[in-house]
Structure formats: structure tokens, C-alpha cells
Amino acid sequence: MSFDVNPTELVAVALACVLIAVPTSLVLVGAVAATPRPSWNRAGLAVGLGLLLGVILALTSVFIGSDGTIATIGQIAMILGLLCVIAAGVFAVLTALDRGGEQLGMILAITGGGLVALGEPVQNIPLFLAMSSSVLVAIAGVIIDLVAIAAIVGALAGIASRVPAVRLGLSLAGAITALFLLISVLILLGGGSGIGVSTMIVIGLVALAIGSIAGGVLETLRVRRNRQGADHTADPATSAGRDGRS
């Protein structure tokens, strides 16, 4: 390993970081969107702390090396986090259908988001070191990946905060992307090549579109039910007023 920077390797790592960040960002923003709106700050804090700890572990493995312990921690955190996000997505759908489970879904989403954020930087270190023998390029890869994730998650969360229907879409996209990421991680652990990043991006975007449409329909039905309930509540008072005047 060296501290020399090859511009070609740096550009290649940067492009790889942006591409890799997309499915991970869908998972993380899906975890945030799966929580009730007042809990978004807690979910965002969990993701932020997870990324910070993950970066520290990743840089530690780059500078002082590791006997595999850090990589194992990253793998365990990623697998457990993905399982939590998948479950949180299921509970988000149940909540949208008024089937309950909001609190449990919130706990799973916050936990899953933090664990995935912790495992992400550690998981990418072997890729960066395979693309370049430079320590500085590997460090740059970790930082670029962090910035890309923060930008994508922030943008999508901002959209979801303004368009409630997108929340369900993001939850569904996050859960489905987490499922394929989990399968890919398990395949890689078994010595396979995993699922392509572009495939996961396409699947996640399709799930986002379908979930957003479903969220819009459910939101419309919810508003309609609330209006009907308000009308029924107001009817007795109106009738009583009419009887009094007569």
C-alpha cells in the first residue's frame, strides 16, 4: 500500500462510490420513511451515528489493518440492519392499511437504519483497496460514499416530507432494496458474485414508483374517510339545531 494518488483510480473509485450509494441510500431513507413523521429526527440521528461509527471502523481497518474482526462486525451489522429494514417496510404497509404495528415498525426502522449505516463503509473497503493500492484513494472513497449517501438520503427525505404519498413508496423501495442487498451479501459471503448494483437500483426505483402510487391512493381514501367521519359527527348537531328552531 502507498500514499500515491493515481487520478484514474481516484475517478474510478469516485464513480463506483456514487453508484454504490444509490441502493444503500434507498434502504436508509426507506428506514427513515417507515417511522412516524415526528420520529424522523431520531431515525436520522441513528443513521448519522451509524455512518460516523462505520467510517471510523473503515478508516481504522485501512490505517492499522485488521485480522478480520472489523469486517465481521460490518457484515453482521449489515445483515441484521437489512433484516430490520425489511420488517419495518412490512409494518409500514400494515400501518398504511390501518392494521397497527406502528411502534414496532418504528423501533425496527431506527435500529435497521443505524446498523446498515454502520456496516456500509466497512463493507466497501475491500472494493476500494481492490481498485487502488493507495491509502488516500481508499480514504477518499469512504468520504465520497458518505457524502453521496447523505445527499441522496437528504433529498429523498425532503421530498417525502412535502409529499406524504411518497413516504409509503420510499418505505416499500427501502424494504425491497434491502431484500436484494441481503441476498447479494449472502451470495458474496458464499463466494458468489452477488447481484449487480444497477439491477438493485432499477428494482428500487420501480418499487418507489409503485409504492408512491399506492400511497397516494391510500392517502386519498384516508382523507375521504376522515371527511365522512366529520360529516357524520356534524349531522346530529345540525339536526338538533333545526329541531330547536322548529
pLDDT tens across 132-156, in order? 778 888 888 889 989 999 899 989 8
Give Cα 21 distance to the centre of its chain: 11
Give the Å distances, CA to CA, from 139 to 54, 126, 238.
13, 12, 69
pLDDT at residue 166 greater than cutoff 60: yes
pLDDT at residue 235 greater than cutoff 60: no
Prediction pTM value: 0.82
Give the Å distances, CA to CA, from 94 to 87, 171, 173.
11, 11, 15
Task: Give me the mean pLDDT over the 56-77 stretch.
Answer: 82
pLDDT at residue 99 greater than cutoff 70: yes
Provide the percentage of residues in the chain whose pLDDT is more than 90: 15
| Residue 135: closest CA among 10, 11, 14 | 10
| Residue 133: closest CA among 3, 22, 235, 244 | 3
- Of the pLDDT bands very low, low, confident and very high (cuts 50, 70, 90), residue 185 is confident
- Of the pLDDT bands very low, low, confident and very high (cuts 50, 70, 90), residue 116 is very high
pLDDT at residue 178 greater than cutoff 50: yes
Q: Specify whether the CB–CB gap between 70 and 61 falls below 8 A.
A: yes
Buried-state track 77-101, b at ≥16 Cβ within 10 A, e below 16? bbbbbbbbbbbbbbbbbebbeeeeb
**CB neighbour list of residue 102: distance below 8 Å, 6 or more residues apart:** 36, 91, 95
- Of the pLDDT bands very low, low, confident and very high (cuts 50, 70, 90), residue 232 is low
- Of the pLDDT bands very low, low, confident and very high (cuts 50, 70, 90), residue 96 is confident
pLDDT at residue 130 greater than cutoff 50: yes
